[in-house]
Chains A and B, each alone.
Chain A
Amino acid sequence: MRMSEEMADYVAGLAMLELDGEERREMAGELEKILDYMAALDSLDTAHAPPPGPVLPLKNVLRPDEPAPSLPREELLACASARDGEYFLTPRAVE
C-alpha cells in the first residue's frame, strides 16, 4: 500500500510527533513496508478461523475489590515536569 507523506504526518500527529522532511519520507517508507506485510496477512482467508487469543495461556485473572494504599501525593507529583503541590500542570487544554 502506498503511504503518502500526508498520511505519515497524520499518523505522527496522532502520536504527538513532529517529523521534519527527511524523517517524514523515512517514516512513510517504513510504514509502507509494515502495511505491505499486513496486506500479505490480509490475503489469507480467515473467515472460518477463530479470533486469535492472547499468547499467554491465561484467563479470568481477577482481584477482589479490596483497597490497597495509593502513592503519597509528593511521590506521584515528583514525576511531573510541572506541578503546584496538588495538581499536575499542563498547557491549557481547550474544551
Chain B
Amino acid sequence: MIWETVIGLETHVELATRTKIFCGCSTSFGAPPNTHCCPVCTGMPGALPVLNRRAVLLAVRAGLALGCTVSRRCAFDRNNYFYPDLPKAYQISQLYLPLCRDGAVDIGGGKTIRIAELHLEEDAGKLVHDPWTEQSLADFNRCGVPLIEIVTRPDFSAAEEVIAYLEKLKLTLQYLGVSDCKIQEGSLRCDVNLSVRPAGSRELGTRTELKNLGSFKAIARAIDYEARRQIELLEEGRPVVQQTRRWDENKDATFPMRSKENAQDYRYFPDPDLPPLELEEAWLDSLAAAQPEMAWEKAARYQTQWGLSADDARTLTGRKPLADYFEAVVELGAPPRRAAGWVLGQLLAALGARGLEAEHIPLPPAALARLIHLVETGALNRNTAARVLEAVFDAGGDVDGYVAAHGLGQISDPAAVEEAARAALAANPKALADWRAGKGKAKGFLVGQVMARLQGRADPALVNRAVDALLEESK
C-alpha cells in the first residue's frame, strides 16, 4: 500500500520583549536560576498580572505578516495542570478568543500552509533532572516569558515542507523583530502532530505528537522516523495509539512520554484577572502599513533594482543583520554589485574564520564602503584591499590610517612598473626563454614576479601591459 504522511505544527516563539508578559521581570536568557522572578510570575496569592503592551504589538505584527485576521476582541484563559515547571499550576493562554486566526504561509513550490490561529501565552519554567538524587531542580526564570503559539492546519506532507515553513517563519519573525528565533536557546520550539493514511484517503489517521525537537535536523529526522514507525504498525495490522512521544536525539527514535499524560485535560476557563483586549481598527491599520520589508521582498528588490543574482540576493537576505550591513555599505556609496561581492566574499570569510555571527560584524559598514571606494578609484588593488580588510577587521576599521601607515597605496606610476618589470625579466632568464619557446604560462609567472617586486600593490592592468611590452621588445 502507498501511504501518505499528514503533519500539522504547533510552534512556540518567545517574543523579543525586555520584560515578561504579565510582570516587569527580565526575559534575558542565561541569568542565574530563580533571579528573574516575582510574586506575579511565581503565582503567589494576591498577585495581579498586567499585560505587556509590547507583547501584544509583536504578536499582532507576527499575525499580520502571516496573513492572519486579527481579532478586534480577544481574551485570556487559564490552562490548568500540575507540573513542577509551573508554580501557578495554570498557564495563561488564549483558547476561546485567540488574537489571530486564518493565516497562510507560501512555502514555495506552489504550496501554501494554512495557519489556524496565533495566540499569546506565557512560557513555563525549566526543570533540570538530577540523576543522583532522584530530584528535579526548578528554575522559574522562564515562567511568564511571552510566547506566541502558531498552529497550522494539517497541511504538510513531508519533512522538507516542514523545514521550508520553519525557515520562512524564522526569517519573517526575525525581520519583524518579533523574536530572535534561536532554536538552541529555546526561543523557537516546535511540536509536530503526525499521522499517516492510505494515499488518496480523505480521512485522517490517528496522530501522535512529537516533542523535544531541538534543531531543524532533529525535526526532519523525527518526522521521517515517526512516519515509518506508524506505517510499520499499520502494515502489521496494529493500531497507532494517540500519544505524545519524545524524540531521543541519541537513539534516533521516538518514545512515549508518560509524565504529562494525565495533564492533557486542561479544564480551560476564562482568566478573571485579565480584562479583555479590544483592538482599534485604526491601530491595526497603522501597524499593517508600517510592516517592514520582508526577506523575499528585499531579495526581489536586490535583483531588479541592483542587478544582483538570485543566489546572492537570497544569501544576503537569509540573515537580516547581513542584509542590513550590505544596505548600509550601499547607502554609503558603494556600487551594489561590488558591495555584494565583498560582503559575500571577504567579509563572510573573515566572519567564518572568527566563528562570528552576522549580527556581530566588528568592521563598521563605513570601513568596507571606504575600501571599495579605494579599489573603485584605483587607489588600492583588490588583493591589497583584501589584505587591508583582514588587517583592520577587528581593529576598528581605520582603512585610510592602515593604508598610509603601511604605504599600501596602489602603484599606478607606469615608469615604476616598467622598472620593476625590466628587473624581473633580467632576474628570470629561464622564464623569458620558456616564453620564447612558446610556453604561455611563463608570462603569468613573470607578471607575478613584477607584482612581488612592487609588494603586490601595483595596478594589475599596468603590470600586464608592461610585461607584454617588454616581451614584445625581446622577441
- A66 with B18: CB separation less than 8 A: yes
- A60 with B265: CB separation less than 8 A: no
Tell which of B24, B137, B277 touches A84, judged by Cβ atoms closer than 8 Å: B137
- A60 with B275: CB separation less than 8 A: yes
Interface residues on A, range: 35 or more
| CB proximity of A92 to chain B, nearest CB, Å | 5
In the complex with contacts A16-B82, A63-B53, A70-B36 CB distance below 8 A: yes
- B24 with A68: CB separation less than 8 A: yes
User: How distant is the Cα of A51 from the Cα of B246 in the complex, in angstroms?
Assistant: 38
- B24 with A92: CB separation less than 8 A: no
Q: Is the interface of A mostly helix, strand, loop or mixed?
A: loop
Q: Is the interface of B mostly helix, strand, loop or mixed?
A: loop
- A60 with B37: CB separation less than 8 A: no
Residue of B nearest to A88 (CB): B138
Residue of A nearest to B16 (CB): A65
Say yes or no for B278: interface residue by CB 8 A criterion: yes
- B275 with A14: CB separation less than 8 A: no
- Considering only residues 94-144 of chain B, those with a C-beta below 8 Å from chain A are 96-97, 127-130, 134-140
- B136 with A90: CB separation less than 8 A: yes
| CB proximity of B331 to chain A, nearest CB, Å | 30
List the A side residues contacting B38 at CB < 8 Å. 68-71
- Considering only residues 48-76 of chain A, those with a C-beta below 8 Å from chain B are 51, 53-54, 56, 58-71, 73, 76
Residue of A nearest to B280 (CB): A60
List the A side residues contacting B322 at CB < 8 Å. none
- A87 with B53: CB separation less than 8 A: no
User: How distant is the Cα of A61 from the Cα of B272 in the complex, in angstroms?
Assistant: 13
Say yes or no for A86: interface residue by CB 8 A criterion: yes
In the complex with contacts A76-B42, A88-B34, A95-B257, A53-B137 CB distance below 8 A: no
In the complex with contacts A54-B270, A68-B24, A73-B35, A14-B136 CB distance below 8 A: no
Say yes or no for B445: interface residue by CB 8 A criterion: no
A-binding residues in B (CB < 8 A) = 17-19, 23-26, 32-39, 42, 44, 50-56, 75, 80-85, 96-97, 127-130, 134-140, 212, 246, 257-259, 262-263, 265, 267, 270, 272, 274-278
B-binding residues in A (CB < 8 A) = 13-16, 51, 53-54, 56, 58-71, 73, 76-77, 79, 82, 84, 86-95
Smallest CB-CB A-B distances: 6 pairs: A68-B24, A87-B137, A58-B275, A65-B54, A90-B84, A88-B138
Given contacts A88-B138, A90-B138, 5 further A-B contacts (CB under 8 A): A63-B52, A69-B38, A73-B37, A86-B139, A92-B135
